[in-house]
Structures are given as C-alpha cells and as structure tokens.
Amino acid sequence: MFKSRRFVISVAAAAGIITIPMLSALALQRTPSAQPDLDLIGGVIGLVERAYVHPVGADDLTKDALKGMLNRLDPHSDYMDEKEFKDMQTDMAGQFGGLGMQISGQGGVPKIVAPIDGTPAARAKLEPGDDIIKVGDTSTQGMSLREVVDMLRGTPGSKVTITILRGKEPPFDVTLTREIIKVASVKSELKPDGIGYVRISQFGNDTSDGFKNALTKLKSDSKDGLKGLVIDLRQDPGGLLTAAVDVAGNLLDGGTVVSIRGRQPDDQRVFSAPSKGDMLPGVPVVVLINGASASASEIVAGALQDRKRGTVMGTQSFGKGSVQTVIPIKGRGAVRLTTALYYTPSGRSIQDDGITPDIVQEAPKDQQIAGGAMLREGALRGAIANPGQLGSDGKPGAAKTKASGAATDKPAASSPPIKADLIGKPEDSQLNAAIAYLGKRADNDNGAVKAQ
C-alpha cells in the first residue's frame, strides 16, 4: 500500500543526492545499543519463516523491515534493493525506457508529478496531479510504487494503456507507446528583444554542461547582446546537488551558493561559486518557480535571490530543504538516507517553507492543471520541521513548530501549477510576465551584454 510520501521515480529519483567520496563515515556499522533490537528482529523473522501460514523468504522480510524503518524517518529516506538502485542510477544518467513521466505515491495512489518534455507522456498531454488508477487491466490500488513503475516500463515500441483520473472528470484511458527516454535536462531559446530563455526540467548528470553551453549559445545568437535571462525551474523536482551548485555558479562571482549541515563532519560543507564564474555579468535574471519546484531547483533560486543576482517570480516552491546521501551496500542495493539540511547564502533553511518569490505571479486559471492545489513538503507525513535560521556560529536556531503535519506559517498546498504543455510556449503567461519585467529593466538600464 502506498505511503503518504513523495517518492519521485523516473528522473529525479532522489532529489538532492550527494554522490561524492564522503561515505567512509557512513559505512554500515553496528552500534552496541542496537544489538538487543537486532536479536529481536532476527527472532521475529525466524518465527515468520517457520510458522507463518504461507512460506515467506527471509530476504523479502528483511527488505520490508528496512523499508519500513527508513520510510518512517521522513518522506525521502528509503532502502533500495539491487534493481531499484540500478534503476535510480539509470534515471539520473538521463536515459531509460518508458513513458517519460515522474510519478509519486503521494495521497495513496500513483500520481503524475510532471511529464518530461518531448516524451510520450508529454505528447499525450498528461498533467501533473493526474492519478494513474489502472495500468492495462490491473488496478493500481494496493500496489507499491515500484510495482507500478515496472508495469509502466517495457520494451521500446510496445504499447501500454493507463487509466487516468483527473480532478472531477470521469476516468479515461490513454494508450502510449514506450520509447527510449533520452532526457535533455536543459533547453534554451532566444526570445524576442534579446531575452534569453533556459528551461531546466531536472538536475541530472548533463545539466552542468548543458546550462553552460546554453548560456554560451544565447550570447552568440544575440546580435545586439542579451538584455535579460529567464531560468525556468517550474515543475523541476530537483536532482543532483552538484549540478545545482554548478548552475548557480555560472551566474555568480565567488561566494557561497549553498551550505549543508548534518551530524557527520563530512556533512558540514560550504559550496562556493568560482571566483570569476558569472558568464553574464550585468545581465538581469529572472528565476521562475512554482509549487512543483523542489530541492536542487530551490537551491538555485535561493542562491540567486540571496545574492541579489536574480529576481524570483512565480509561486511558493515545494519546500524540500534536505539532502539525501546514497550509501551502497555491496550486492544488496543501497540506503538513501537524509543526512543533512541545506541553507541558502543568507543562512535560511527552506525546509518546510520553500522559496517565497520576490514577485508573485500565478498562472491564470485557464492555464492551471486540473485537480487543484499541490501538496507541499510540510504536508507530507514525517516531514522534517524547519530548523530555523543559521546563527553567526553556523548553528541552526530554534526549530519552527509544526501543527497538523505542516509548518505554521506556510500553506500546506500551493496554487495549481501551469499545464506542462504550455511551459515555454508563446501563450505561457508567467513566462511572458518574466520577459516583460526584463524588458522594462533593460529599457531602464539601457544596456545589454554582447558575446565576448
């Protein structure tokens, strides 16, 4: 049965993953205080093996016990068996077979978080918030998220029919053809009047180079120089922390991008921009976000906002301010464990709160997805409370209190995001507002930056 937790599969399987050589301190190690409990768990597994009415393997029981233990900690900690671990690595590499959508188990049913641009799911006009209630003739009720994902994936060229429940509409079937999903996480376009547009759909292995190449191309394509840049992070669920640091670092000259604080010495780190990293000095920047912008997206938005390098526009972001570390277990998969919280350059944590835009710009109702508002991090079961502002000593202040599973000063849900198939299109009202804002800035500044 689904837990009330956001578990994104297909692209950003673990938003905020750190995959850097810092795992020695996090190797599996038994503590003396755990020994009595381990004896108890082993005894119960042995009892079930011997006496349960149907045969049950010890491996399955152990996996379920590990998942239950880690899932209880927070919405993002988890145990992955070998197959799940390999699938996660494939997802983050940006190429896999399937339909091209990110799904979660939030709310007890498999729910589409976002279709990926240019994939079967996007072409079929599937929308964030759509519930997948059947795959083929099989109901998804009571299935694990992994079982649903395995049913959706298959041989490229084969077809699969899914039944969608969208808001108050009657359920309807959609037949899609599976294909190899090659996710280009960065797309760019030179908009009229010298405004550059960069869309980042996730933060994967190709994002750092993709963003840098996009800025280089926009500079060379703009004959009269770039007058502004829009970075579109709407419906971007996050991804690799290192990619987020690289993206922000391409628009900053030195200084802090993000810092992380955890219990292990290796988890006390400050990530900085290169001393002369800004590729577009003097070019005004707008960062577009919404309630489905999470984790790595929020790192970029928070860094540019705090450093006064960009204006954040849109609606309140998701509020995932935790960092997950993947600890491989030789031959037995991996543990994904929340090991730290991250802080923006000014020392604020966005955990539970999210990034508040400088300019609130909602999508008009006719451009919003069906199904209403999207739940935010603070509304998820087991969500970690906001730890408070970092003090001058580098330590968090008093944690904010929580009521009914949500932060007391932020809504549990955000306004509905824009329909995925409108993002970046001429009728995209939020993008048009960002372009208009940059146009006014350029007129006031009366300047542009040409390619060097």
- The number of C-alpha atoms within 13 Å of 189 and in the hemisphere containing its C-beta is 11
Q: Is the Cβ–Cβ distance between 369 and 419 less than 8 Å?
A: yes
Provide the 10 A C-beta neighbour count for residue 416: 25
266 is catalytic: no
CA nearest neighbour of 39 among 30, 28, 29: 30
Three-state DSSP class for 86? helix
Q: Catalytic residue at 173?
A: no
Rg (C-alpha) for the chain, rounded Å, is 22
Residues 198 and 215 sit within 8 Å (Cβ to Cβ): yes
User: Which tokens go with 428?
Assistant: 């995209």
User: How far apart (Å, rounded) are the C-alpha atoms in residues 198 and 184?
Assistant: 12
Between CA 170 and CA 344 the distance in angstroms is 44
Closest to 10 measured CA to CA, from 108, 120, 97, 128: 97
Q: Which of 130, 206, 306, 428 is catalytic?
A: 306
Per DSSP, 316 falls in state: -
Question: Of these residues, 67, 191, 227, 320, which one is catalytic?
Answer: 320
Q: Which of 294, 235, 234, 226 lies closest to 439 in space, CA to CA?
A: 226
**What does each C-alpha distance from 117 to 49, 95, 126, 311 come to in angstroms?**
47, 13, 11, 25
Nearest Cα neighbor of 79 from 94, 103, 63 is 63
Angle 90-374-260 from CA coordinates, rounded to 5°: 55
Q: Kindly state the tokens that stand for 343.
A: 């802080």
Q: 3-class DSSP state for residue 41?
A: helix
Per-residue b/e over 56-81, b at no fewer than 16 CB within 10 Å?
eeeeebebeebbeebbeebbbbbbbb
253 catalytic per annotation: no
Please report, for residues 133, 321, 341, the alpha-carbon distance to residue 386 in angstroms, rounded to integers and kept in the order given.
34, 8, 9
Q: Which of 185, 295, 349, 414 is catalytic?
A: 295
Cβ atoms of 152 and 142 closer than 8 Å: no
- Count of helix runs (H) and strand runs (E) in the chain: 9, 24
* Residues noted as catalytic: 295, 306, 320
